[in-house]
Structure 1
Amino acid sequence: MKKGLAVSVKKTPSVWEGFKAFLMRGNVIDLAVAVVIGAAFTNIVNSLVKGIINPVVGAFGTKDLDKYVSCLKAPCDFDEKTGTVVSGIPLMWGSVLSATLSFLITAAVVYFLMVLPMAKYLARVAERKAAREGAQEKTEATELELLREIRDALVAQRAGEGTR
């Protein structure tokens, strides 16, 4: 090995350090909070669908939407005790309708209570920022015009001195 040569070796971060840095970023923590709130909100929406929407829809038939079933291959026989299919191929469109209603209500609430107000807020912030930048550009433009006038006046003054 030669004397006097220093070799610099970059230390690569360990997997644990990289994972820790990833977790400490604000985005991951915000995402975790959103997932927890979303899970709690899902319970509220499911209760709303089961407690209010299903009975309203059930006023035209059965109270439980899960009982709305069509038979693809007849006959569809169900065991009343367990609720399982004994024969036939059932299409459980009531369960799909209930899940669709839950999704639509969740999406509407998230959009109208979270997305729409945030979009309006961000638009106002962008508008204010654009107005500030416009005022600053206007100030810079007037300063530039003033400097041009000074330059032109100096050029005219020098031209006037040269004719004497």
Structure 2
Amino acid sequence: MLSGFKKFLLQGNVIDLAVAVVIGTAFTAVVDAIVKGLLTPLIARLFNAKNLAGMTWEGFAYGSVIAAIINFVLVAAAIYFLVVVPMNHMIERRNAKHGIKQEEETVDPQIALLTEIRDSLSARK
């Protein structure tokens, strides 16, 4: 029983997942600092407010909702432009260096036939 548990723990997937969680946690702090320290104050200045979360209207704290939406969009943009785009570019360069070509999308023959039938039927109308 313990040997199975040891094998499970030492599999590459478990270790990769643990490393990803730790790196993700550390990276979250970096992205959070960029968003809260730089981007959110700049956007708050556009609204002439000290901070977005403090904006209210007749008791409704709409500022916190706006701040949460803006934080989400900014975090997603930071992840996309600072991680995803450079990683995709790096993978493309590595694949080109090793002569690996991107696989072309294959279409299931049944799907192709159904598409032709659909197009033929829509052309009859």
- Tell me the TM-score normalized by structure 2: 0.63
Asked whether the 8 Å contact 1:58–1:64 carries over to 2, the reply is: yes
Deviation at 1:29, TM superposition (A): 0.9
**Residue 99 (structure 1) aligns with:** 72
Number of equivalenced pairs = 100
What is the one-letter code of the residue matched to 1:95? A
**CA distance in 2 between partners of 1:48 and 1:77 (Å):** 28
> Which of the two has higher C-alpha Rg?
1
Match of 1:28 among 9, 14, 24: 14
1:46 pairs with 2:32: yes
Deviation at 1:108, TM superposition (A): 2.1
Match of 1:37 among 23, 29, 44: 23
What is the one-letter code of the residue matched to 2:20? A
- Residue pairs, 1:67-86, within 5 angstroms: 67-68=54-55, 75-76=58-59
**CA distance in 2 between partners of 1:122 and 1:54 (Å):** 38
Deviation at 1:90, TM superposition (A): 8.3
Asked whether the 8 Å contact 2:31–2:75 carries over to 1, the reply is: yes
Match of 2:51 among 58, 64, 76: 64
What is the one-letter code of the residue matched to 2:59? C
CA RMSD of aligned residues (A): 2.9
Against the structure 1 CA distance between its residues 118 and 97, is the aligned structure 2 distance closer, same or farther, given a 3 Å change threshold? same
1:118 pairs with 2:91: yes
Q: Residue deviations 1:30-79, cap 9 Å, x none?
A: 2211111111011011101111111211121224232345x6xxx4267x
- Residue pairs, 1:4-23, within 5 angstroms: 14=1, 16-23=2-9
Matched residue SS, 2:59: strand
Residues 94-103 or 40-49, more deviating:
94-103
- Tell me the TM-score normalized by structure 1: 0.50
Asked whether the 8 Å contact 1:49–1:98 carries over to 2, the reply is: yes
**CA distance in 2 between partners of 1:114 and 1:68 (Å):** 38
